[in-house]
Structure 1
Amino acid sequence: MQCHFNGNLLSQVLPPLLVIEIILGLLINGLALWIFCLHLKPWKSSTVLLFSLAMADFLLIMALPFRATYYWYGVNWMFGEALCNTCLFMMAMNRSVSTIFLMAIAVDRYMRVVHPHHAINSMSVFKASLVALGIWIVTIAMTAHVFMSKNLIPSSKHANNTYCESFMVETDPHTNMNWHKFEFLFSFYLPLLVILYCTIHIVSHLRGRQLAQHAKIKKALGFMILVVVLFITCFLPSNLTQVAIWIKTNQLIGDHTASEVCDALEELTSGFYISISLTYLNSVLDPVVYYFSIPAFKNICRKVLHLPQEEQTESTGKKPRETASHSLSQL
């Protein structure tokens, strides 16, 4: 049995949140893509990863107006099954591709700092494009199952409502954790572990070489911390609530009827849908990564926004070793 939730809270909270994400996302990502496509030359291998992340965010924003309308009309989908599946696919793909590209960006920075002489650091733009294409293909393959699932579901609580959801709670323990939920969790926890690994080893490497006070090193550390904070802020709440729903459902099944299980999970389920909408904030926050990752991107942004250009200052500390100098040149 599937749990059909009451959408009153979602109808109040999510439409204004999604509208803000849509407006800011269009403005900020439109500016980012404009800079990437027309003003940022020449590209580097790391630029390909950042551009792919910007494209994923822009595609997500195209689906959010339909989602905002869905919640605005009391959790009632009015656009048909094909568009329902397409929007759910776009949102699922964005979550997975964003986490994987953020992981790839962290690995790229890790290799440049900790292993500056590795051949991967001299990867051409063409090869980086092939890597990005591979990530897109794998992510699409992981989330394509959305099109094969029945996501348009008439509500048993409200006769006039039709749900468009890919995360319905099941009271059957054998179907409560399906591939879609597993992929949702896997595409978060694996990148999280990799990003934390890269960050910890970068900090350890730089402290071991006594470079922590160097200006460029501070920027590198700040960038990695930024990636970690952005990743956790956007993706952790929804994953924690998904795990909580799964655990609580398994605890309740067997001792309670299906309707009692659904009633007990009502509040937690609403919290999950609110937290998953916070996930889409990555489309607004990801450009901060581009801003602090590419100096040319920052300069163009400041010029477009009529902000004063930053003065280039040199570090006054001791000269780092040769390998460290090479690391800094790659940042």
Structure 2
Amino acid sequence: MLLELWPTSQGGSTLVNMRCSFNGTLLMSVLPPVLVTEFLFGVLGNGLALWIFCFHTRPWKSSTVLFFNLAMADFLLNMSLLFRAIYYISDIQWKFGHALCNICLFMLAMNRSGSTLFLMAIAVDRYMRVVHPHHPINSLSISKAMCGVLAMWLLTISLTVHVFNLKHVNTTRCESFTVDTEMDHNLNWHKFEFIFAFYLPMLVVLYCTFHIIVSLRRRQLAQQAKIKKALWFIVLVAVLFLICYLPSNIAQLLILIQTKQLTSKLPDTEVCSALEDLTVVFFITISLTYLNSVLDPAVYYFSSPTFKNICRKVLHLFQTDTAKSTRRNIRETGSQSLSQL
């Protein structure tokens, strides 16, 4: 871990701040295969999902609008991963220019936050349909749902557009997360947004999941095989959400806490080396967040009979008898609320 010096102006005078710069030897060997794999499966899976939503899903419902936009956010995020893989393959040397660096970082930040917000909205949608089935919001028109989605995109963009103003002192580096030995510069909006865009959706997803389970148990529906399977799947989605996003957020919080403690005990020249292992852990765990976007098409496949049948037909696999499945549906109120697009 090296130390970079960069000038800032304050009160008419020029000050020198210190920023940690890692050599990333471990990252160059670990991240490229991970990012390339996520890129390939993410683009194929979410591309197939978008194609099915656009050309084979009729009629659309308000929940379909949410799933479509989640797939769009995931697809755009996955498209940016190839540039990150090339970046690490090239010994952490960015070769595509300053403008494309900022565009790539913005796409990653915007769509990572967008994914968590749309997952939160999907959890709320299922919660309302199961726990409050007669609420007027459940009969929301497609046009109103699209207006709501547009508002979510505008919120996401407003939260992440600051990425274009991030300073890159070293022109060969393309990073949005840095460690500064000056705490005034270490806790910036980008890091706050990264943490906020996870913990708020996490609390909402856990709240909705818990109350869906409680509601179905009270109505004595949870013992039915089909609904029990759907319940296990919602829990699995919540667990995967935590597994993918929680480690990087914990690592980011630990970096902030450790930086504050170390800067008060050690000279600036030793702070970076003391934070190197934790910084490497953060960059590895942040690549795990992209895995959630790769797994989302599996969520569509297993949670929607319509999506599953279309996908099987497209892939020339055995297609289930939908008429037979329809006859098996008993007391579908809870099941449909959990699974249909």
TM (norm. structure 2) is 0.89
CA-CA distance at 1:216 after TM superposition? 3.9
Does residue 301 in structure 1 map to residue 317 in structure 2? no
Does residue 213 in structure 1 map to residue 218 in structure 2? no
Q: Distance in 1 between matches of 2:216 and 2:84?
A: 45
Structure 1, residues 289-312: CA drift from partner, whole Å, max 9, x if none?
211332211111122223323354
- The answer on whether the counterparts of 2:73 and 2:111 sit within 8 Å (CA) in structure 1 is yes
- The answer on whether the counterparts of 1:106 and 1:227 sit within 8 Å (CA) in structure 2 is no
Structure 1, residues 189-235: CA drift from partner, whole Å, max 9, x if none?
11000000001111111111211112442243133213202211221
Match of 1:65 in 2: 82
CA-CA distance at 1:30 after TM superposition? 1.5
Does residue 40 in structure 1 map to residue 57 in structure 2? yes
Mean CA deviation greater in 207-216 or 54-63: 207-216
Match of 1:157 in 2: none
Q: Distance in 1 between matches of 2:253 and 2:38?
A: 25
SS of the residue aligned with 1:281? Answer: helix
Does residue 236 in structure 1 map to residue 253 in structure 2? no
CA-CA distance at 1:106 after TM superposition? 0.5
Sequence identity percentage: 63
Q: Distance in 2 between matches of 1:212 and 1:315?
A: 20
- The answer on whether the counterparts of 2:221 and 2:334 sit within 8 Å (CA) in structure 1 is no
Does residue 8 in structure 1 map to residue 18 in structure 2? no
Q: Distance in 2 between matches of 1:147 and 1:36?
A: 32
CA-CA distance at 1:24 after TM superposition? 0.9
User: Which of the numbers 13, 18, 22 marks the counterpart of 2:39?
Assistant: 22
CA-CA distance at 1:326 after TM superposition? 4.1
- The answer on whether the counterparts of 1:215 and 1:315 sit within 8 Å (CA) in structure 2 is no
- The answer on whether the counterparts of 1:171 and 1:249 sit within 8 Å (CA) in structure 2 is yes
User: Which of the numbers 128, 144, 161 marks the counterpart of 1:144?
Assistant: 161
Q: How does 1:70-149 map to 2 (within 5 A)?
A: 70-149=87-166
SS of the residue aligned with 2:173? Answer: strand
Structure 1, residues 121-156: CA drift from partner, whole Å, max 9, x if none?
000111111111110000000000001121x332xx
User: Which of the numbers 192, 203, 206 marks the counterpart of 1:196?
Assistant: 206
Match of 2:169 in 1: 153
Q: Distance in 1 between matches of 2:316 and 2:91?
A: 42
Q: How does 1:315-330 map to 2 (within 5 A)?
A: 326-330=333-337
CA-CA distance at 1:269 after TM superposition? 0.5
**Which structure is higher in RCO with an 8 Å CA cutoff and minimum separation 6?**
1
CA-CA distance at 1:73 after TM superposition? 0.8
Unmatched tracts of structure 1, length 5 or more: 155-160
After superposition, the CA RMSD in angstroms is: 1.8
- The answer on whether the counterparts of 1:75 and 1:163 sit within 8 Å (CA) in structure 2 is yes
- The answer on whether the counterparts of 1:153 and 1:164 sit within 8 Å (CA) in structure 2 is no
Q: Distance in 1 between matches of 2:302 and 2:102?
A: 35
TM (norm. structure 1) is 0.92
- The answer on whether the counterparts of 1:46 and 1:108 sit within 8 Å (CA) in structure 2 is yes
- The answer on whether the counterparts of 1:116 and 1:327 sit within 8 Å (CA) in structure 2 is no
Q: Rate the CA distance shift 1:232–1:162 in 2: closer, same or farther, 3 A.
A: same
Q: Distance in 2 between matches of 1:106 and 1:315?
A: 28
- Letter paired with 1:177: L
Unmatched tracts of structure 2, length 5 or more: 1-17
User: Which of the numbers 280, 287, 299 marks the counterpart of 2:290?
Assistant: 280
Does residue 162 in structure 1 map to residue 172 in structure 2? yes
Q: Rate the CA distance shift 1:45–1:243 in 2: closer, same or farther, 3 A.
A: same
Moved over 6 A (4+): 314-317
SS of the residue aligned with 1:153? Answer: coil
Does residue 270 in structure 1 map to residue 268 in structure 2? no
Does residue 55 in structure 1 map to residue 65 in structure 2? no
Q: Distance in 1 between matches of 2:192 and 2:173?
A: 21
More strand by share: 2
- Letter paired with 2:136: A
